[in-house]
Amino acid sequence: MKILIVDDEINIRMTLKDILEDEGYETMMVGTGEKAVSIIGKENFDMVILDVKLPGIDGIETFKQIHNKTPELDVLMISGHSDISTAVNAVKLGAYDFLEKPLSMIKILTAARNIQEKKTLQNKVIQDENEQYEKYKFIGNSPQINEVLQLVEKVAATDSKVLIRGESGTGKELIAYAIHHNSQRKHKPFIKFNSAAIPESLVESELFGHEKGAFTGADSQKLGKLEQANHGTLLLDEIGDMDLSVQAKILRVIQEGTFERVGGNKTINIDVRLIAATHKNLENMVGEGSFRNDLFYRLNVVPVVIPSLSERRDDIELLSEHFLEYYAKEFNAQQKTLLPTAMETLLDYSFPGNVRELKNIVERLCILVTNDFITKDDILPHLMLQKNKQVSTGFSIDGTTFKEIRTNFERQFFQKQLDENHWNISEIAKQLGMQQPNLSRKIKELGLSK
């Protein structure tokens, strides 16, 4: 840490210099406010120790000029007894603190350590924010994506509710973060909550938190995702999988900005921006009664629809290059290059798993390919399984009318899914993005059996 000492008394300057340098700090000394302001414009400092009484411009005016130039710079004022009120005013103007002369060297070192710890924490926060931004950076330059990003920019400036829709793997979470990152809440928490990834019995505890003793195993109070996201943004991912009872409580949060922890009776006020995301057809779910009509309209203030990767093929090359660079850094390895024929292979592929599938393929290639160049032959083994699954279905399309053809196809398709998954209805429904009652009804209609 680098400290500038500003005092017109050479003895004080030298004493401060010696004790601070003994503790490992780097120091510079000047005797006037004018020199201090001039040197701060040329060199970077982490802390300034500034005397109130100085020849020429005094310490207060020096502080004002330093503060205007570098408001993030911590300034510790030092003063004689008669100048205490002046030093207190400086603190009110934004100085870090003041110490009275004769100086306590212990207090000087304590202030320096505290400022250093604060700087370390600030740098860590900035580093974490930068890492989070890199992790969640949305990549794309196709017309379809530019349209989405323009909408993100508009809605980010507001606190409006947003419902992000798109197939699995399209980047709904990244768009949610882009909204957060471009909003006034960007320096506050961005918290994710995925209903589908949490056992139903734990959803309320994870979302709203719980009090000690609320249930067996609740040995201490726990803050839920809502409180963790206070003053920031909460992404309700896969909102279509949320239980109706929890939907009602989320609706209350939206309407009143309040909730209670599980097992508690204290009403907690919350200021959080809610963004929801889903790959499901919520309109159909509303019609079926599995999703609340009032919650749907509360969340669907600004709908954002993310196109599938097959609809934004112009971005495949850009995304591939981004992932190659990302994993080269991640694995601390030489960045690999996709040969033109390899890129053509990717461009010809349909990517049913969207961007997530492309990312996984590139990661796999970065691990398995030992050469610096990735060829078409390197890629094909990682695509053929999906292609065979798409094309070689073995289904016939017998029938004379569209209805007959569709019914015949559905019977073969669902029978194949049932046989391959050993009639695990809930698992099949999850894979197909269907509600289990609808799948059971379809099986009955088609007359399928083991």
CATH number of the domain that residue 79 is part of: 3.40.50.2300
Please indicate, yes or no, whether residues 204 and 246 belong to a single structural domain of this protein: yes
Same domain, 77 and 158: no
Rg, C-alpha atoms of the chain: 31
User: So what's the pLDDT on residue 402?
Assistant: 60
Whether 336 is in a domain gets the answer yes
Q: Which of 248, 281, 307 is the last residue in one of the domains?
A: 307
Residues 196 and 294 reside in one and the same domain: yes
Query: What is the distance between the alpha carbons of residues 158 and 160, in angstroms, rounded to a whole number?
Result: 5
Which residue is associated with the tokens 């212990």?
106
Q: Is residue 350 part of a domain?
A: yes
Shared domain for 295 and 152, answered yes or no, is yes
- Domain membership flag for residue 276: yes
| Whether 142 and 238 share a structural domain | yes
Query: At 420, which CATH number?
Result: 1.10.10
Give yes or no: residues 340 and 274 share one domain: no
Q: Which domain holds residue 196?
A: 137-307
Q: Would residue 131 count as lying in a domain?
A: no
Same domain, 302 and 316: no
- Is 132 part of a structural domain of the chain? no
CA atoms within 13 A on the CB side of 265: 0
Integer Cα distance of 336 and 188 in angstroms: 37
- What pLDDT score does 126 carry? 67
3-state secondary structure of 222: strand
Q: Is residue 257 helix, strand or coil?
A: coil
What pLDDT score was predicted for residue 400? 58
pLDDT at 390: 41
If asked whether residues 251 and 380 sit together in one domain, one would say no
Both structure tokens of 29: 């000394």
**Using an 8 Å Cβ cutoff, are 336 and 322 in contact?**
no
Profile the chain (450 residues) by mean pLDDT over runs of 10 residues: 94 94 94 93 91 91 91 89 74 87 91 89 72 80 94 94 95 95 92 86 91 86 92 95 93 94 91 95 94 95 94 95 93 94 93 93 93 93 55 52 72 85 84 80 83
Q: Tell me which of 90, 125, 160 is where a domain ends.
A: 125
Place of tokens 């839920």: 224
pLDDT of residue 333: 92
Q: What CATH number is given to the structural domain containing 254?
A: 3.40.50.300
Q: Are residues 88 and 163 in the same domain?
A: no
Q: How far apart are the first and last CA of the chain?
A: 73
The contacts of residue 306 (CB under 8 Å, 6+ apart) are 148, 164, 165, 166, 167, 170, 171, 172, 175
Tell me if residue 348 falls in helix, strand or coil: helix
Position 303 in a domain? yes
CATH of the domain at 342: 1.10.8.60
Q: 173 Cβ partners below 8 Å, 6+ apart?
A: 136, 192, 235, 237, 277
Distances (CA, A) of 159 to 154, 164, 180, 248: 11, 15, 10, 21
The torsion region of residue 47 among left (phi > 0), alpha (psi -120 to 50) and beta comes to beta
User: Is there a single domain that holds both residue 387 and residue 418?
Assistant: no
Q: Are residues 80 and 42 in the same domain?
A: yes
Which domain-ending residue is among 93, 125, 157? 125
Same domain? 343 vs 209: no
DSSP-assigned letter for residue 363? H
The answer to whether residue 239 is domain-embedded is yes
- 61 assigned to some structural domain: yes
pLDDT at 130: 67
Count the domains in the chain: 4
∠ CA 272-273-277, nearest 5°, is 130
Coil, helix or strand at residue 370 = coil
- DSSP string covering 278-298: ESS-HHHHHHHTSS-HHHHHH
